[in-house]
Structure 1
Amino acid sequence: MKKSKWVRTLFRIAHCCVIALVIAENVTAGERDIPRTESATITLIPNPNLSGMVDLYLDGRIDVHVMARLNNFAYLEGRKGVVLHLNSFGGSTRAGLALGRRIRQLGFSTQVSVKAEGSAQDRAGICESACVLLFAGGRFRLIQPDSLVGVHQFAATDQVDSHEAMADAQIFSAATVNYFRDMGVSTQLFSLMAITPAREMHPLSVTDQVDLGLVNAGKEDAVWSIEIDYGGALVVKGVQSTISSSVEFQMSCTAEQAIALGVIVDSGTAGLNSADLLTDVRTLTGVPGQSVRTTVQTTEIEFLPGADQLHKIVGAKSFVVRLHYVNNRQSDYAIDVPAKAGALMAGFVRICHGMTAKNDPR
């Protein structure tokens, strides 16, 4: 019994060595840093471009000790622009699930990359097996095209009893499926894991990562709904967040049965001069009643579009608010408009104007 366990352990060690050798042979020296085999470290490296981004670099094996190292940076919880860069062959599935949920709780973003010495640009990294669970935990999951991302089945446990091992696998299977669903990642990713033997690795291309929802390119899906404002009036509301900002769009009905559009962005930069509303990257010229209010943390813009402009608005697939500053600088804040949101706004316009279906501006 002990001999059998020793043989399995020796085989796993040899297998890891083979994987490391294969990767080393296929990677040109200096192009990619091989992850360390010891328990992963997490290092904060100041961003030299003063963009407000915070870069954390995780390198090494995923195990129970990594949680304490991650919690050392819990003071960054909720701060925009915190990116956890991953470089790991994987490790414990149990630790990976716990770390992934903690990363989402902290609001950190994730990317597979390593710090390049003497350069402001990060290099491609490796994220395989349990590391992918951490990658999925990022609120915003960023693409590094040349990085290696791969999945496979859970590694065999140390239990000698096959029934115990089977029960363990079933528990982790259910936990992983639920985890991907909670993280907004397609459960098809688990299917790819399940059909790939533990001794192999299924590589995920950039297209695979996008299609599976494993990466979201630093942007969450827009959320649209009908709500009631503080005055008791109905408002169509859309919210979309990116790694660096968020925008809120509101459509309301005035006492004169006119449509008012309010936009709130989380930018309170001084020197704001004016703002434009764009639909599908086309400026809606001459939108009357524009007003701009800027506080320390937010900027609120109000537009009163005419009938022709409403037709473009309810038929748009995206909105962009372009802010213009006194120093000729400008910044854009965008929100996606899915078909259901467009139909919601069209119906709201009919109600506000007292229109019949034949007069639908859409």
Structure 2
Amino acid sequence: MDPANPTCPLNPDWSANPTMQLTPVVKNGSKVLLAEGRIDAGLPDRLKAALAANPDVEEIWLRSPGGDARAGNAAGRVIRANFGLVTRIPSGWACFSACNFVFMGGQPRVIDPGGLFIVHMFTRTGDRGAIDYSVAMGTDATKELIGDIEQDAALLASEDNDFLIRMGVSRKLLTEVMYQQKALANAEDKSTRRCLTQAEVKTYNVANNNGNQ
């Protein structure tokens, strides 16, 4: 296990692909779309095209380290528009951050035993270059950047809340789990992510089917 994030393994299998690859394959007689890699702004359009080209896809299997939060929400809505399309996190695979919202578009949703649904508190302060530049420019520039970050974070939180409602997931997932994590590690608490248990994914209606489908 990861000593900094004790609910999670040290090296989650969330794919090293720099952008999410969408690969149709046949598994156990059913057509499955493997969705593996980082979520980028172009994913919703690629996903829509892949599903149009493969209308017989029954499930989407996900492993991803996350990426573009709004693209994750949009990709989740693409999946929900194909009602009845299953999303699955297979055993050993990990779905982190923006991937959570892609997964929640499924109906139904399955997390196999050993599959990892990993959450964190999103942060809008990842652009260190912009932060360093604003500090160098002086107090007014820093205040302006902080204001922009706060506004965008509030908008994204509202969008996430609306998304969970539409997908039938408990909003308590945000308040009781995601927003309780540290956005950035500090000397006292280095944990920045949390792996949900099988009981928790059912409590918050993240997974609404068993792993035997």
**TM-score, normalising length: structure 1:** 0.46
CA contact (8 A) 1:43 1:56 kept: yes
CA contact (8 A) 2:22 2:50 kept: no
Residue 88 in structure 1 maps to residue 64 in structure 2 = yes
Residue 167 in structure 1 maps to residue 151 in structure 2 = yes
Structure 1's 76 and 131: CA in aligned 2 closer, same or farther, altered over 3 A?
Answer: same
Q: What secondary structure, in the 3-state scheme, does the structure 1 residue paired with 2:22 have?
A: strand
Residue 23 in structure 1 maps to residue 10 in structure 2 = yes
Give the % identical residues: 28
CA contact (8 A) 2:15 2:37 kept: yes
Unaligned stretches of 5+ in structure 2? Answer: 132-144, 185-191
Structure 1's 78 and 216: CA in aligned 2 closer, same or farther, altered over 3 A?
Answer: farther
The superposition leaves residues 213-259 of structure 1 with CA deviations (integer Å, 9 ceiling, x where unpaired) of 001117xxxxxxxxxxxxxxxxxxxxxxxx8xxxxxxxxxxxxxxxx
Q: Which amino acid aligns with 2:58?
A: V
Partner of 1:112: 89
Q: What secondary structure, in the 3-state scheme, does the structure 2 residue paired with 1:73 have?
A: helix
The superposition leaves residues 31-89 of structure 1 with CA deviations (integer Å, 9 ceiling, x where unpaired) of xx441140110100123x43xx220111111111222321222327875x611100011
1:62 to 34, 39, 64: 39
Residue 45 in structure 1 maps to residue 32 in structure 2 = no
CA contact (8 A) 2:22 2:47 kept: yes
Partner of 1:194: 179
Q: What secondary structure, in the 3-state scheme, does the structure 2 residue paired with 1:215 have?
A: coil
Superposed displacement of residue 186, structure 1:
0.2
Unaligned stretches of 5+ in structure 1? Answer: 1-17, 28-32, 114-122, 219-242, 244-362
> Cα RMSD between the aligned structures?
2.5
Superposed displacement of residue 193, structure 1:
1.1
Residue 137 in structure 1 maps to residue 114 in structure 2 = no
Partner of 2:166: 182
Q: Which amino acid aligns with 2:10?
A: I
Superposed displacement of residue 109, structure 1:
1.3
Partner of 1:127: 95
Between the aligned partners of 1:77 and 1:101, the Cα distance in structure 2 is: 18
Q: Which amino acid aligns with 1:208?
A: E
Q: Which amino acid aligns with 1:211?
A: T
The superposition leaves residues 13-44 of structure 1 with CA deviations (integer Å, 9 ceiling, x where unpaired) of xxxxx99xx723xx7xxxxx441140110100
4+ residue stretches of structure 1 with deviation over 6 A? none
Between the aligned partners of 1:61 and 1:35, the Cα distance in structure 2 is: 8
Q: Which amino acid aligns with 1:46?
A: V
Structure 1's 69 and 78: CA in aligned 2 closer, same or farther, altered over 3 A?
Answer: closer
- Higher relative contact order (CA closer than 8 Å, sequence separation 6+): 2
Q: What secondary structure, in the 3-state scheme, does the structure 1 residue paired with 2:10 have?
A: helix
Partner of 2:79: 103
The superposition leaves residues 174-209 of structure 1 with CA deviations (integer Å, 9 ceiling, x where unpaired) of 110010010000001111111111240021111000
Instruction: Give aligned pairs, total.
Output: 181
CA contact (8 A) 2:14 2:94 kept: yes
Between the aligned partners of 2:179 and 2:44, the Cα distance in structure 1 is: 26
Structure 1's 78 and 178: CA in aligned 2 closer, same or farther, altered over 3 A?
Answer: farther
Partner of 1:204: 196
Larger Rg: 1
Partner of 2:124: 156
Between the aligned partners of 2:19 and 2:148, the Cα distance in structure 1 is: 27
The superposition leaves residues 279-300 of structure 1 with CA deviations (integer Å, 9 ceiling, x where unpaired) of xxxxxxxxxxxxxxxxxxxxxx
Between the aligned partners of 1:165 and 1:149, the Cα distance in structure 2 is: 27
Between the aligned partners of 2:208 and 2:53, the Cα distance in structure 1 is: 22
Structure 1's 78 and 188: CA in aligned 2 closer, same or farther, altered over 3 A?
Answer: farther
